[in-house]
Amino acid sequence: MTLNTFLKLDPAYRDYVWGGEKLRPGFNPTAEAWVVWENDPILTGPLKGLTLGQAAAQYGESLLGARPVSRTGTRFPLLVKLLDCAQWLSLQVHPDDKLALELEGPNQFGKTEAWHILDSEPDAKLIAGLKPNTSADTVAEAIRNQTVIEHVQYAAVGQGDTIFMPAGTLHALGPGLLVYEVQQTSDWTYRVYDWGRPQTETRRLHIEKSIRATRPDFTAPIVPMPACGDGACHMLAQCDYFTLDMLCAASRAIELDTRGESFHAITLIEGRAALVAGDERVELEKFQTAVVPASLGAYRFEPQMSCRALKSSV
């Protein structure tokens, strides 16, 4: 079956303790919007009412593309979130594919991710890795006795920065950050340290698992936003699991093509725009997302004012 229609998605929200009110004004705290997720309902077109995961199972390569299907079958392979960080997130680490299978069971994936900073308050920081020459034994002891925060590496970040975060990197997002996050289709998170917050049933520390997962030598370089001209597409991050691109347009449309290789997930982060392919058209406003099926092929990103969007694919 061939799928040649844009799939606009209805995001799911997560109201964690560290969230703010930028993603869903009036609902505080709203920590995360899961804008591309296999359980997000489709809002438009002939598949309206199905979830993205149900559509992927039904249409397979037509929706996902040849490259994702060869790796993860008909499961939707990515999870994209927007995060409003009003407080420090827990210091955490994610397993890689091998460790996820060992610790969490069959058909489980690791979690490599990338962040793009959408907005930041002055002096905003994050944690990305450990100080140089920190040994595995030191890390294990510090995680067990809750002194690991003395060994982490802080970094100042600002709007437009991109950080690639391979599985195994100890990390935390700090207050004052609004973040786009693309990751593998996995949400395995091992909480290492939670800034003195009491443990609850849903916010436990994962001491031994985090020791297994942490790679002391892993850090995450911060890449500033490149100059973004009208009608331009810039690659921000690329790895075996995903590619993240920035689309910038004010008066010129951007011609794009899935080539049948992978879906494109387009999240508008500024302005207003439309995705157009023949008679197919979907309008996007800030923080709205549409998935372009791999079988749709060539399409245009048309600005309705100065706008920017992030495009994730496999």
Position 228 scores a pLDDT of 87
Answer whether 7-223 and 232-313 agree in fold: yes
pLDDT in the model for residue 202: 86
Pairing of strands 125-130, 113-120: unpaired
Nearest alpha-carbon partner for 41 in 54, 30, 29: 54
pLDDT in tens, 177-223: 999 999 999 989 999 999 999 999 889 999 999 999 999 999 998 99
Asked which of 78-82, 199-203, 271-275, 297-301 is least confident by mean pLDDT, the reply is 199-203
| pTM, rounded to two decimals | 0.96
Residue 136 pLDDT: 97
Q: What number is the average pLDDT over the span 43-47?
A: 94
Quickly count: other Cβ atoms within 10 Å of residue 18's Cβ: 22
Q: Which helix (H) or strand (E) holds 135?
A: none
Q: What is the mean pLDDT of residues 267-278?
A: 98
Mean pLDDT of 33-50: 97
Query: What's the average model confidence in pLDDT over 48-59?
Result: 98
The answer on pLDDT for 123 being more than 80 is yes
Residue pointed to by tokens 């992030």: 310
Q: Which pair of tokens denotes residue 237?
A: 């991050």
Q: What percentage of the chain exceeds 90 in pLDDT?
A: 95
- Report pLDDT for 2: 84
Q: E strands along 47-199, which residues?
A: 78-85, 91-93, 113-120, 125-130, 152-156, 162-165, 171-173, 177-184, 190-193
| Residue 226: per-residue pLDDT | 85
Q: Cα(183)–Cα(105) distance, rounded to whole angstroms? A: 19
How many Å apart are CA 213 and CA 191, to the nearest integer? 11
Q: Which two tokens stand for residue 27?
A: 């609902």
Q: Which pLDDT value is given to residue 7?
A: 98
> pLDDT value at position 209?
98
**pLDDT class of 1 with cuts at 50, 70, 90:** confident
* Domain residue limits, the chain: 7-223, 232-313
pLDDT tens, position by position, 215-228: 999 999 899 998 88
CATH tag for 232-313 (out of 3.30.1330.60, 3.30.70.1060, 2.60.120.10, 3.40.309.10): 2.60.120.10
pLDDT per residue over 277-297, tens digit each?
Answer: 999 999 999 999 999 999 999
Q: What is the mean pLDDT of the chain?
A: 96
Residue 51: DSSP 8-state:
B
**pLDDT level of residue 28 (50, 70, 90 thresholds):** confident
Looking at the predicted structure, is the pLDDT value of residue 102 above 90? Answer: yes
**CATH class, range 7-223:** mainly beta
Tell me, what's the pLDDT at 280?
Answer: 96
What digits encode the pLDDT tens for the residues 126-167?
A: 999 999 999 999 999 999 999 999 999 999 999 999 999 999
